[in-house]
């Protein structure tokens, strides 16, 4: 039924938020307003905290891809993979440039940026296994991935993009990204 389906997706959404709250509490990271948070954050510099945050946020992106393919629906899996892959290009470039500006060689900066992206295939395997095992796991898994990504966007990305007067540019980028995702969803 529609109500049960909505309930399953909502339960997954809540699980995604709980997952990210746990990671937020258990991993070192930095917030603009509050500063460094989490265990061991004093051992990592600002660049290290940034790279770790990018690596961690790739987990739910990978889970979304895995869940998308979990029930054998290529249209869902391919549209998610395409959209996430498109945004991974500038994301990886940003990581490499930040590491390069911190003094790492080009080779190390690129290798570390690529390593942060390896969290996505790991998340994809987890998402695929979970969604492939049980019929109810597909909507819950998609909800979990969506909840985790919404949490990251609301908790980390939006506040960061709106500082220093860049809120209009950031909002326009969000809208363009949303439009691109919708086009990819319909086209694939």
pLDDT tens track for 57-83: 788 888 888 888 887 778 888 888 888
Between residues 84 and 166, the one the model is more confident about? 84
d(CA 96, CA 164): 23
Burial class (CB in 10 A: 0-12, 13-18, 19+), 27: middle
Predicted structure pTM score: 0.68
* DSSP assignment letter at 27: S
For tokens 């990271």, name the residue: 29
Closest CA to 76 of 10, 18, 34, 131: 131
């Amino acid at each position: 039924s529609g109500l049960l389906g909505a309930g399953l997706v909502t339960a997954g959404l809540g699980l995604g938020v709980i997952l990210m709250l746990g990671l937020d509490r258990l991993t070192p990271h930095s917030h603009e307003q509050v500063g460094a948070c989490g265990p061991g954050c004093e051992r990592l510099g600002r660049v290290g905290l940034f790279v770790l945050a990018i690596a961690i946020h790739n987990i739910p992106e990978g889970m979304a891809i895995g869940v998308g393919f979990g029930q054998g629906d290529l249209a869902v899996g391919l549209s998610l993979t395409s959209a996430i892959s498109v945004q991974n290009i500038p994301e990886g470039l940003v990581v490499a440039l930040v590491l390069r500006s911190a003094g790492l060689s080009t080779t190390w900066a690129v290798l570390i940026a690529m390593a942060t992206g390896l969290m996505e295939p790991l998340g994809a395997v987890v998402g695929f296994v979970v969604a492939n095992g049980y019929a109810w796991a597909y909507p819950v898994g998609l909800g979990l991935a969506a909840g985790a990504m919404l949490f990251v966007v609301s908790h980390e990305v939006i506040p960061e993009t709106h500082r220093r007067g860049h809120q209009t540019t950031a909002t326009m980028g969000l809208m363009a990204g949303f439009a691109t995702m919708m086009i990819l969803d319909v086209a694939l």
